[in-house]
Amino acid sequence: MNTPPRLLPPLNGARNPGTTPAVTTPGSFALAPDVGGPLMFASPDTPGMPAPSDKTAWDFLPDGWSVQRWQSGEVTKWQSAQTANHSATLPLGHSATSFHSARGDLFRVTYPSSFTPITQLEHARLGIVTPQMRRVAEREPHFETLFPGKAAEAVRDEVAAGRMVIPANINHLKHNLDPMCIGRASRTKVNANMGASPVSSGTDEEVEKLKWAERWGADTVMDLSTGGDLDACRDAIIRNSTVPIGTVPIYSMIIGKKIEELDWPTIEASLHHQARQGVDYFTIHAGVRRAHLKHVKNRLIGIVSRGGSLLAKWMLVHNQENIMYTRWEEICGILRQYDVTFSIGDGLRPGGLADATDAAQIAELETLGELTERAWRKGVQVMIEGPGHVPFDQIEWNAKVQRTLCHGAPFYVLGPLVTDMFPGYDHITSCIGATAMAYHGAAMLCYVTPKEHLGLPKKDDVKQGCIAYKIAAHAADVALGIPGTRDRDDELTKARAALNWEKHFELSFDPDTARAYHDEDLDVDTDFCAMCGHDWCSVRISKEIQEFASGKAEGFERVGANGRAGAPVKSAALTPEQQEILAKRGVLSLDEIHKLASKTKKAMTGRVAERQSGKATDAASSHSATSPLDHSATSAKLSCHSDYVDPDTAKQLQEQRTAVVQLDVRPALGIAKEDRVV
């Protein structure tokens, strides 16, 4: 009898995030996409969550502007023609333009005739699709899936609503910037921080870190330099980057002086200078107000934001309101000239779990909402920075209260860390919080590296931070049901099921590490790996059950010489990078790594024979005099190696590595050695 399962998950409306029909996806808890509406890609609200704001950037237009809007169902051709030609009723000195949104709504915008758009927001408000919006639509293919033929218009609509930003300084566009977007209607983005400090690093090292961060998927980079030649470092980073660059301009404003000496001429000159250089977004901590400081005194760790603490000190010394707050409109005017995007700083973000979601943080967030409205009135793009350190149960509320107070402006969060007691592993503690924050509404995640709280990140820390955050961002995008985001996961699952190792590595985010880890234990391509071994390989056994066949799945068998299935084939040798990964791990000796990198079929067979005769190399004592990482020494062999062996040879090799292969657990479990699972 075919009994159906008693319980299946509900279908809440999110589309299958994969585009392949033949996958098993019984349900999704995310909401159906609402791109063009306030929810975009969103998690359902747990009871008690604040509702999304009913306002957007359209409600905060500059003086002299107005907009009329008819939803698609209300628009008739007659209305469209009438509204488009209604110039006779315009106020003196004003013009009007009409356009349809990707969802079919009709907008009629009235604006001063002398106005010339500069920022992406201003272009969007006039219905103009910029080249940067087109590029963003290309890079976010789900817009085409949701709005066929109108993908770039959908991007424009999100920018016009203030729910998406395209950080693209007009001066950075003259270099190598590849425009991207940040908003909850697009894929979740990752920012990598870097920058020289007074005690460590320099310009060349920072440019190298920039390239490294780009390689590992950083969507934007913040230069947080506080030491060395700040100007030269910033200039080099902007010229070399294809991703948007953000800075915290107050750092350079106080180099060589005390924070007390900060004044408007210094602020004005620094903002102009960095904007001219091409910085794409500025973190300005204008939300820290005098009235908020009383909320900080009972905190465990006070103010942990550098910008926030500096401006708090400035306010106390001068007994005045935050100068960034009082000069906000003038600051907006400078950013508008270059289309620099605001990343309005959270100077009072919590620095520990105990301080999360407290009065100081929320009072500042209310001010960030007010500053957002004022910036939109000046035509400037806005995103909002968020915490920091937040217990897991408070994350959804933090994301959703920002959505309410800041009217859907993109939320850019640092982590958050969900526990404070794992220094050295904060890329993990924060990646957990970042995944939840992105699922509940954050649009960009600022990475945290293993060096967080401990020192300046080095190259490998940058890689670890980027990868942890690519995992968080991707996991959230899959959960939110962004069309197409799961395709690569599904392809990798298919390759895994087919025991197709080459495809498995190729589809991995970090193929070098995947390949090196595989070859460390069993450096041959066969229908199992060293994790379980031949007899316990569930993928192989499952295939036997389902298809009464063993070995690799049909279509994925290795085809070698003369097109003969199972014949030896050439495949890539371990690259120097893969060798380096294995060398760092220290499991294999340098000599063994050298052999892996230069293996030939003859060498493989010889190695089995060598091991069988008891001449296997001792990993602990046989380091080669020649470095295995010296690629030139082995290149002649690398060009012609083959790693294919038949299953029996693979089993023999595996059994030689008893330290890592679990074949011998059967006696411990009281199972006879002859037993097989099937």
Binding region for ligand SF4 (CB under 6 A)? 528-529, 531-532, 537-540
Q: Pairing between strand 106-112 and 164-165?
A: unpaired
Q: Cβ of residue 547: shortest distance to ligand SF4, in angstroms?
A: 16
Where helices occur in 76-178 by DSSP H, the ranges are 77-84, 120-125, 131-139, 142-146, 151-161
Residue 53 contacts by C-beta under 8 Å, 6 or more apart in sequence?
38, 403, 404, 405, 406, 407, 408
Q: Cβ of residue 654: shortest distance to ligand SF4, in angstroms?
A: 10
Paired with 191 in beta bridges are 220, 446
Phi and psi, residue 110, nearest 5°:
-110, 135
Q: Cβ of residue 529: shortest distance to ligand SF4, in angstroms?
A: 3
- The separation between the first and the last C-alpha atoms of the chain, rounded to the nearest angstrom, is 24
- Quick one: 471 or 539, whose CB is closer to ligand SF4? 539
Residue in the block written with tokens 């502007």: 65
- Quick one: 405 or 530, whose CB is closer to ligand SF4? 530
- Quick one: 57 or 661, whose CB is closer to ligand SF4? 661
Q: Which residues of 409-424 are buried (b: 16+ CB within 10 A; e: fewer)?
A: bbbbbbbbbbbbeeee
Q: Cβ of residue 498: shortest distance to ligand SF4, in angstroms?
A: 10
Q: Cβ of residue 540: shortest distance to ligand SF4, in angstroms?
A: 6
- Quick one: 187 or 540, whose CB is closer to ligand SF4? 540
Q: Tokens representing 30?
A: 């995310």
SS3 track for 252-319: HHCCCCCHHHCCHHHHHHHHHHHHHHCCCEEEECCCCCHHHHHHHCCCCCCCCCHHHHHHHHHHHHHC
- Quick one: 542 or 605, whose CB is closer to ligand SF4? 542
State the number of CA atoms in the 13 A half-sphere of 658 facing the CB: 6
Decide if 381 contacts 417 (C-beta within 8 A): no
> Angle of helix 590-597 relative to helix 631-638, nearest 10 degrees?
40
- Quick one: 46 or 538, whose CB is closer to ligand SF4? 538
Q: Cβ of residue 492: shortest distance to ligand SF4, in angstroms?
A: 13
Using DSSP's 3-state secondary structure scheme, residue 131 falls into helix
The closest alpha carbon to 182, from 482, 499, 410, belongs to 410
- Quick one: 471 or 532, whose CB is closer to ligand SF4? 532
Q: Cβ of residue 478: shortest distance to ligand SF4, in angstroms?
A: 22
**Residue 59 CB neighbours (<10 A):** 15
Q: Cβ of residue 648: shortest distance to ligand SF4, in angstroms?
A: 16
- Quick one: 354 or 497, whose CB is closer to ligand SF4? 497
Q: Cβ of residue 551: shortest distance to ligand SF4, in angstroms?
A: 12
- Quick one: 527 or 591, whose CB is closer to ligand SF4? 527
